[in-house]
Structure 1
Amino acid sequence: MKLFVLLPVLFALIVDALPPPDTLSTNALFYNTTWDGIIFGDFTAQANTQRFNGSLAIQGNFTASGLTVNNRHRTINCTGSIEYGLSVGGQIQAQNTVVNGAVNVSNLTSGITFTDQKCSNHTTSKHVDFNQLYAAATDLSYYLASQRPNVVIRDGGFLSDGQFDADSNQEFYIFTFNKCQKKGMCVIPDYLYSSPEHIFFGTNWTGPWNTGYPIDKRIIFNIPILTNSTFTMSTNNPAAGLEQADIVYNLYPVNSTGAYDPQGHFVWFRNTTSFIGSHVLAPKASIIENNKGGFTGQLIAAKYLSIDTVYLDDSHAV
């Protein structure tokens, strides 16, 4: 039974059936705009990071050279209703950066140009409540992390039912990766943890070897990362076999027992050659990207750094 529509603007497609914590609001967190990327710290796109295909909201500083923001909306004009492509709460250091749509900044620099010059007249006219967004994102991440896994990828890539029950009444297919460090003291039993070796740390992952993923419900990939550590995702295509699925990648910090660490942070180095699709919920992660692949969906993170020639796509890419 559909119980609740949760955060329709933050992640419009993530959750339509959760009984949420009281702190989560069903009100729109932005006035009229859905942001495809939300970064709670600094956003740094090194030279030759060519585009972010969706709109981008940054709480910290924005540094970019030769970047196009909101690339999929190349025909935006600001004559009537205003559509924003970029919001920056901190300082801007930009060179040859193009924005499709209006820009919400406190100090517009000469390094930003507009496809429609009328959009330059609408700076500082839109409020983005990053504190509310951060609280909503972390609450949602914690809620998803607390759900019991009901599907497991075993060592070698064998897909099995985590509850040893063909029917699960949960609203999602939930995978939880990375066994905790303290064996016998983990917050969930060892047999419910999925193996990350092939899907995240391998080379030519093509999906589970015995059967395809179930895709009649949304898939939650819970990926707990030890606080103050680095998670390197190096498989060429971790999304192999999930082309038709609706996925949430929920990455979050944990302690040595696998319990969610509300004060924790970690680094995520995306070293894949293919794109990570659907929705990425990682409000505690500092993301570093290599020069291949990228994200094709909504992205929420603590900080962002690209290393040369990355396409930061969104699910409406053209």
Structure 2
Amino acid sequence: MSEMLTQFNGIFFNDFKTGRDFRSQGPLSIGGSFIADNAFLNQRNQLSCTSESSQHGLILKGATNSSITVNGLARIQVENSNITTPLDKCSVTTADTRYDFDLAKSNAISMSRHLADMLPNWSIDRMGIIVKLVAEGISVKQPYNVFTMPAKCGAGPYQAKNYFACKENKECETPAQTLSDGHAMFLGRTSRWTGPVEQIYPNDNLVIFNVIIFYYY
């Protein structure tokens, strides 16, 4: 995967809006405006800024109305005195962001399509327990541990169903029983998802969650 995608905790190609006292554990790259109130970015970084390429805490192409603290270098395109950085040798630079958002978006879409084509080899059940999927006669060879969440696709006059790819009302090619259940993760009683119940995720390979999102125009 491209370094321009993996060096940030979040990449936003348009505006990013959040609530008061927003906190980000890692760096952010924002192609539009940053709408927030008293934000703290890149909290886990406690290093001095000795290498510009690896110590960015914020890249911001648009404007912001927020007071922002950044652990690391901040490269912004619109001057703002409310953006500060407390770490040694780190600075806030007002200049071209030097980040190619168009290329990053193209890379992200390409990578997303590649990952979306992978069959799930793990699932999460309704209680939040992870299950290793074993299909008789099927060998799933891939370098990741993949969980696929169900998606609802609008199908015009037809009843909405689960889809892996929304094409001509074609039913999901991935068996429904291999899809993870979103109740524990997204609709649980607690305020946040903290992981599977009394388990840990498989750690032999990178874990991928395929969350299918459809856009309607």
Shared fold (TM-score greater than 0.5)? Answer: yes
Q: Does 1:249 align with 2:209?
A: yes
What amino acid is the match of 2:84?
T
CA RMSD of aligned residues (A): 3.4
Query: In 2, Cα distance between the equivalents of 1:175 and 1:116?
Result: 38
TM-score (norm 1): 0.51
Counterpart of 2:156 in structure 1 is none
Counterpart of 2:157 in structure 1 is none
Secondary structure of 2:146 counterpart: strand
- The 1:162/1:194 distance shift into structure 2, 3 A limit, reads farther
- The 1:155/1:54 distance shift into structure 2, 3 A limit, reads closer
Q: Does 1:100 align with 2:95?
A: no
Greater share of strand residues, 1 or 2?
1
Q: Does 1:47 align with 2:29?
A: no
- The 1:76/1:166 distance shift into structure 2, 3 A limit, reads same
1:163-312 matches, within 5 Å, as 163-165=135-137, 168-178=140-150, 181-182=160-161, 185-201=170-186, 203=188, 236-240=193-197, 241-243=199-201, 245=203, 246-254=206-214, 264=215
Deviation digits for residues 131-175 of structure 1 (CA, Å, limit 9, x no counterpart): 111111111111111123344556676836352248543333333
Query: In 2, Cα distance between the equivalents of 1:251 and 1:158?
Result: 16
Query: In 2, Cα distance between the equivalents of 1:161 and 1:168?
Result: 10
Counterpart of 1:71 in structure 2 is 43
CA contact (8 A) 2:58 2:73 kept: yes
Say how many residue pairs are matched.
197
CA contact (8 A) 1:162 1:191 kept: no
Deviation digits for residues 1-38 of structure 1 (CA, Å, limit 9, x no counterpart): xxxxx324523xxxxxxxxxxxxxxxxxxxxxx22221
Deviation at residue 127 of structure 1 after TM alignment: 0.5
Deviation digits for residues 55-93 of structure 1 (CA, Å, limit 9, x no counterpart): 11101101232222222223424xx54332211111111
Query: In 2, Cα distance between the equivalents of 1:155 and 1:111?
Result: 45
Query: Identity over the aligned pairs, expressed in percent?
Result: 24
1:8-19 matches, within 5 Å, as 8-11=3-6
Query: In 1, Cα distance between the equivalents of 2:126 and 2:106?
Result: 35
CA contact (8 A) 1:154 1:160 kept: no
Query: In 2, Cα distance between the equivalents of 1:125 and 1:197?
Result: 41
Secondary structure of 2:209 counterpart: strand
Of structures 1 and 2, the one with the larger relative CO (CA 8 A, separation 6+) is 1
Counterpart of 1:57 in structure 2 is 29
Query: In 1, Cα distance between the equivalents of 2:4 and 2:29?
Result: 13
Deviation at residue 130 of structure 1 after TM alignment: 0.7
CA contact (8 A) 1:199 1:238 kept: no
TM-score (norm 2): 0.71
Deviation digits for residues 255-307 of structure 1 (CA, Å, limit 9, x no counterpart): xxxxxxxxx27xxxxxxxxxxxxxxxxxxxxxxxxxxxxxxxxxxxxxxxxxx
Secondary structure of 2:108 counterpart: helix
1:117-128 matches, within 5 Å, as 119-120=90-91, 122-124=93-95, 126-128=97-99
Question: Tell me, which stretches of 5 or more residues in structure 2 are unaligned?
Answer: 153-159, 163-168
